[in-house]
Amino acid sequence: MHFFAVILAVVAAIGITTSTIFLALTIAGACKFFREAARQKRFAESLTDDQLPFVSLLKPMHGLEPQLEENFESFFLVDYPRYEVIFACDHEDDPAIAVANRVRARHPQIPAQIVVNGEPPWPNRQDFALYSAAQAAKSDILVTSDSDVIVTRNYLREVVPPMLDSKNGALTCVYRGLATGGFWSLMDAIGMSVEMTAGVLVANLLEGMKFALSPTLVLNRQAHESMGGYTATGYYFSHDFIIGNRIAKNGYNVVLSRHAIAHVVPHMGFKKMWQHLVRWAAGTRRSRPLGHLGTGLIFSVPYGILALVAGCLLGHPGIGAAVFAWSIVNRMIESLLVGWGITHDPPCLYRPWLYPIRDLIGFAVWVASYTSTQLAWRERSFELLSDGRISVHGSKPGDVAPR
């Protein structure tokens, strides 16, 4: 028993040390973010409306989602001189089309169209919808975003200006989760606001942006085509990561925007939340295997619990309790700094004690990401392959994905 307790203590010490180092890196990453945001703001404010380019907003859609009409309409209400909106979906009977048409009718001054692209020739349906929308786009600056995000009026004025520099091949944004009901929806949302964003800040600090995030991705068409365009990423689950990574490898900059958008998280139970988190964690494991492995050392609360148990077993409960308390404080600091300071998520400010719970869930998700290659996404099941590609069950890479 004594040997077991010592092992627990050693593991706890390692985990608490690495999670504390990660917090320090997060603070440094936040400082870099604020410096770059200030530069972006000064440049954007120096531009006149005549200097802002015409841009194409690409919106893939698939079925009805919570507050879909509000999400769509937010893109028609942005304060920007010249842009178009292009929706894309698989089939004419998609109920999202009626929603998009209602929004278009209320804003006839904004050029907008709907592209029905038909059955995708590769597994990632969203990727093919973006491909089809890009074919109809008139601009060489493509602003892509998921259907479950909602934006503010300053959205385009903040994400477009950096793309005036031809060296910038892509721009991406951090995002906050916008829970629409239920405790598990809130847990999912807080993870987006804090855990995801902290990882992005540290990656940007240590190596610069070598990837992108799908909720918003602004592309220089030439840079995107240089890495093969959407046809090169249609078989990948984390196609946003692949796009940013390959654009960076081709010598272009991937910019982390100062803008944070809201990602709408539907009401859900524990099972749905768990499946969603494990799905994305498994995708990350395939995209960045070494980085994902190291993620196991950035959590705090699990190691605090181990320290508490080890302290009690070794006759030092006070030390164990102190380490456990620090693990909680560590995550609360991260919630305040990242969740509120960067993504402006109110629950992270008013209820920072929730993030330690989410930290514990995140560790369990990390462990689970190594247990299965089966994914459920958009009512379909996939096999996640070792190189990050996906195949629909019953097909092989290269086959057309069934509905």
Q: What is the rounded distance in angstroms from the CA atom of residue 247 to the CA atom of residue 234?
A: 16
Per-residue pLDDT tens over the stretch 8-23: 999 999 999 999 999 9
Compute the average pLDDT of residues 54-59: 97
In this predicted structure, what is the pLDDT of residue 402?
A: 29
In this predicted structure, what is the pLDDT of residue 151?
A: 95
Burial of residue 316 (number of CB atoms within 10 Å: 0-12, 13-18, 19+): middle
Which of 151-155, 227-231, 363-367, 395-399 has the lowest average pLDDT?
Answer: 395-399
In this predicted structure, what is the pLDDT of residue 104?
A: 96
Q: Quick check: 403 pLDDT over 60?
A: no
Q: Token pair 């050392």 is at which residue?
A: 297
| 44, 202, 240, 252 from 208: Cα distances, Å | 21, 9, 16, 12
Q: What is the rounded distance in angstroms from the CA atom of residue 398 to the CA atom of residue 158?
A: 38
Q: Quick check: 234 pLDDT over 90?
A: no
The DSSP element (H or E) to which 85 belongs, if any, is: strand 83-89
The token pair that represents 222 in the structure block: 């030439």
Q: Quick check: 378 pLDDT over 90?
A: no
Compute the average pLDDT of residues 38-53: 97
In this predicted structure, what is the pLDDT of residue 66?
A: 85
384: left (phi over 0), alpha (psi -120 to 50) or beta: beta
Q: What sign does the CA torsion over 117, 122, 128, 131 have?
A: negative
Q: Which residue has the higher pLDDT, 32 or 386?
A: 32
State the chain's mean pLDDT as an integer. Answer: 91
Residue from 174, 354, 143 nearest 263 by CA: 174
Cβ atoms of 395 and 401 closer than 8 Å: yes
Whether pTM > 0.85 for this model: the answer is yes
Domains of the chain, each with CATH number or no CATH: 55-265 (3.90.550.10)
Compute the average pLDDT of residues 145-158: 94
* Residue 56, φ and ψ in degrees, nearest 5: -110, 125
| 199, 239, 253, 288 from 202: Cα distances, Å | 5, 21, 17, 15
Q: Quick check: 379 pLDDT over 70?
A: no
Q: Which residue has the higher pLDDT, 329 or 377?
A: 329
List residues bridging with 388 in a β-sheet: none
**Residue 211 gets which letter from DSSP?**
S
Cβ neighbours for 52, distance < 8 A, ≥ 6 positions apart: 80, 81, 82, 157, 160, 161
Instruction: Reduce the DSSP state of residue 381 to 3 states and report it.
Output: strand
Compute the average pLDDT of residues 348-377: 88
Give 320-324's long-range contacts (Cβ < 8 A, gap of 24+). 323/12, 323/16
> Maximum Cα–Cα distance for the chain, whole Å?
74
Per-residue pLDDT tens over the stretch 67-124: 999 999 999 999 999 999 999 999 999 999 999 999 999 999 999 999 998 888 888 8
Parallel/antiparallel/unpaired status of strands 380-384 and 141-145: unpaired
Cβ atoms of 162 and 248 closer than 8 Å: no
**Residue 402 gets which letter from DSSP?**
P
- Residue 181: other Cβ atoms inside 10 A: 12
